[in-house]
Chains A and B, each alone.
Chain A
Amino acid sequence: MEILELYNYWVFAILLMIGFYAVTAKLNLVKKLIGLSLFQSAVFLLYISMGPVEGGTAPIFHADVTGRVFSNPLPSVLILTAIVVGISTLALGLAIIVRIKEAYDSVEENEIRELDRQ
């Protein structure tokens, strides 16, 4: 049981690196963006894992839960903003990829480099 309490952080490390691998090693630009969103999700998981307190509940005051322990609201606030910024950058990135496709007729990094050299 003791060892399982760090499981969240291990999954964070693995997901972060799966995303990083997709961003660096994959040549398809859409795949890179999917990798970037995996990377982001890993960071969300890291922050949210710091929120809960033993025996606590979501930080919403309610008549039934007076005198209870509440979990930390601050990671939630940070990650809410991060999700919003994430979808904004994702939309912009995809729009740029669509324009690249129209200019080069390809979304593979090696083919685009090849066309640039000519």
Chain B
Amino acid sequence: MTVFTVFFIIFLLTLMVITALAIVQTKNLFAAAMLSGIFSLMSAMIFFLLDAADVALTEAAVGAGISTVLFLGALALTAENERAGTAGRAAALAVVTVITAVLVYATFDMPRLGDPNAPAQLHVAPWYLEKTPEYIDVPNVVTAVLASFRGYDTLGETFVVFTAGIGVLFLLGKAPVGQPKVSPAMTFAGKTGLRHYQIPRVVGRLLIPFILLFALYVQFHGDYSPGGGFQAGVIVAASVVLYALLEGEEQARQALPAWLLRLMAATGPLIYGFTGVACMLLGGNFLDYSVLAHDPVHGQHYGILVIEAGVGVTVTGVLISIFHSFAARGAK
């Protein structure tokens, strides 16, 4: 790490603290949501500088993209400004100050940044780095650990995404009881989108195919470069959100109907689970892809490809469904 990189990291981290303070300080929740998007983009840059390219890609797509959209969708349905402010401010500040002091005191025992002899570098990490070329033979070790060595965890993660999708559909899928409230902003966006604004429309329509192409690249090139099913799914969802903003909520709903999205959400975990069962039927352990082909390393490649596709399909389906649930709530 060069001196320049270190200073850039320090600059970004300081900016993140300032942004976080501004987020807590502002009464305008719209501003807070936008600032949290900026905050995520800065943390994505930090992650990239700290050699975590996969995490940087995910944080940029999720934090700066989808979660900002979700916050805005929720704000359109609730309130744009904070009313009450804070309660028990003195007590909270006292607790926070004491814990900060204790945590900072504890950091003096931490290994310095980049220490090759830090405990985290000595335990199992070298084993994964050494054995990945032999067992899995994909260049991206993060993908290898995520999809194969720790495939159980990623299966669980897929189910978490699926469950969250079910939860949001349960909570927001049905029209509200009593008179449905009409939010003018959302109705406007829901019917026409930005169709009256030529420049965003032309630029946006040009961008969408390239965003989708990039998503496919991230999906299928995840073994060789940063990326994978989750990142690809988020990028596809972002392109659909962009389409909905440009052409209106209804148009996006017609392009990808709700039943298809629900089917996609359910298909992913099924693909993932059945891959595991197929491994068992072929005589291996659950999610041990080595038995999927004559050559164990090829089997691993097929397994990772299939389960990454499953993850991508689920994430796309769930995130677009969640977006539609929030957007349609106000438009009714």
Residues of B with Cβ closer than 8 Å to A?
1, 6, 9-10, 13-14, 16-17, 20-21, 23-24, 29, 32-33, 36, 39-40, 43, 46-47, 50-55, 58-59, 62-63, 66-67, 70-71, 73-75, 77-79, 82-89, 92-93, 95-97, 99-100, 103-104, 107-108, 110-116, 118, 120-121, 124-125, 128-129, 132-133, 139-142, 145-146, 150, 153-154, 157, 160-161, 163-164, 167-168, 171-172, 176-177, 224-226, 230, 315, 319, 322, 325-326, 329
- Closest 10 A/B residue pairs (Cβ): A88-B164, A13-B103, A25-B92, A71-B51, A5-B112, A9-B107, A94-B74, A59-B141, A95-B171, A27-B84
| A to B CB contacts below 8 Å, 9 in the list | A8-B9, A11-B14, A25-B88, A26-B24, A26-B85, A45-B46, A71-B51, A77-B142, A83-B62
Interface size class of A (residues with CB under 8 A): 35 or more
Chief secondary structure at chain B's binding surface: helix
Contact A85 B160 (CB under 8 A): yes
Contact B121 A22 (CB under 8 A): no
Contact A18 B20 (CB under 8 A): yes
Contact B160 A54 (CB under 8 A): no
Tell whether A76 pairs with B55 under 8 Å between CB atoms, given A22-B24, A26-B86, A41-B43: yes
**A11 — nearest CB in chain B belongs to which residue?**
B13
Of B17, B62, B70, which is within 8 A of A15 by CB? B17
Contact A18 B21 (CB under 8 A): yes
Contact B322 A91 (CB under 8 A): yes
Which residues of B are found within 8 Å of A25, using beta-carbon distances?
86-89, 92-93
Of B82, B116, B167, which is within 8 A of A28 by CB? B82
Contact A24 B92 (CB under 8 A): yes
Which residues of A are found within 8 Å of B163, using beta-carbon distances?
88
Chief secondary structure at chain A's binding surface: helix
**A50 — nearest CB in chain B belongs to which residue?**
B120
- Is A115 part of the contact surface with B, judged by Cβ < 8 Å? no
Closest Cβ–Cβ distance, residue B156 to chain A (whole Å): 8
Which residues of A are found within 8 Å of B82, using beta-carbon distances?
26-28, 31, 108
Contact A60 B99 (CB under 8 A): no
Which residues of A are found within 8 Å of B29, using beta-carbon distances?
28, 30-31, 34
Contact A60 B36 (CB under 8 A): no
Contact B55 A83 (CB under 8 A): yes
Which residues of B are found within 8 Å of A17, using beta-carbon distances?
96-97, 99-100, 103
Of A10, A21, A71, which is within 8 A of B104 by CB? A10
Contact B78 A30 (CB under 8 A): yes
Which residues of A are found within 8 Å of B40, using beta-carbon distances?
41
Closest Cβ–Cβ distance, residue B136 to chain A (whole Å): 11
Roughly how many angstroms separate A24 CA and B54 CA in the complex, as a whole number?
A: 32
> A21-B96, A95-B167, A110-B87 provided; 10 other pairs, C-beta below 8 A?
A17-B103, A18-B17, A26-B24, A44-B55, A45-B43, A73-B128, A73-B141, A73-B142, A77-B142, A80-B230
**B170 — nearest CB in chain A belongs to which residue?**
A95
**B132 — nearest CB in chain A belongs to which residue?**
A61
Contact A60 B39 (CB under 8 A): no
**A100 — nearest CB in chain B belongs to which residue?**
B78
